[in-house]
């Protein structure tokens, strides 16, 4: 799988843990995130991930900021990007099964690195159920 990851200053340690895991599983990872805790603007990194998802360059995106909210809002501005803010693996699972989410947003200040890794594993291995959920997903970007 091809995966893009982006983070702000709240998530470099999380990103390193996740990237190490993904690469050990044979995934190709594009790293758009910062590697320091120096303050940066999360949209700058989120938009890069979202563009790759939007254009089909990657299969999935992972974004990380302090609350997970700002970066999720940023990436959700892109066509056909469905970012889900997740704080436990059960939410990550439902985001894939019911919403066909293609980006997981992780709140670094409210989850542990182990929780984040479990959410990513669950997110990437859970299939979209389709069926009645497809009708709803089709309505997400319909304005």
Residues annotated as part of the active site: 65, 98
**How would DSSP label each residue in 33-86?**
S-SS-S---HHHHHHHHHHHHHTTSSSEEEEEESSSHHHHHHHTTSTT--EEE-
* Cα 4 to Cα 98: distance, rounded to the nearest angstrom: 22
Overall size of the chain counted in residues: 143
Rounded Cα–Cα distance for residues 68 and 10 (Å): 10
Closest CA to 1 of 81, 54, 85, 61: 61
100: left (phi over 0), alpha (psi -120 to 50) or beta: left
């Amino acid at each position: 799988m091809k995966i893009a990851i982006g983070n702000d200053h709240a998530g470099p340690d999380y990103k390193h843990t996740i990237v190490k895991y993904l690469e050990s599983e044979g995934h190709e990872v594009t790293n758009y995130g910062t590697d320091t805790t120096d303050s940066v603007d999360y949209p700058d990194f989120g938009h890069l991930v979202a563009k790759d998802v939007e254009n089909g360059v990657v299969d999935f995106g992972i974004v990380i900021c302090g609350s997970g909210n700002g970066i999720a809002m940023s990436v959700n501005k892109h066509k056909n990007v469905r970012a889900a803010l997740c704080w436990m693996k059960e939410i990550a699972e439902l985001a894939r099964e019911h919403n066909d989410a293609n980006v997981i947003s992780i709140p670094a200040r409210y989850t542990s690195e182990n929780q984040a890794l479990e959410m990513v594993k669950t997110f990437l291995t859970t299939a979209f159920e389709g069926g009645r959920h497809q009708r709803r997903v089709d309505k997400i970007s319909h304005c």
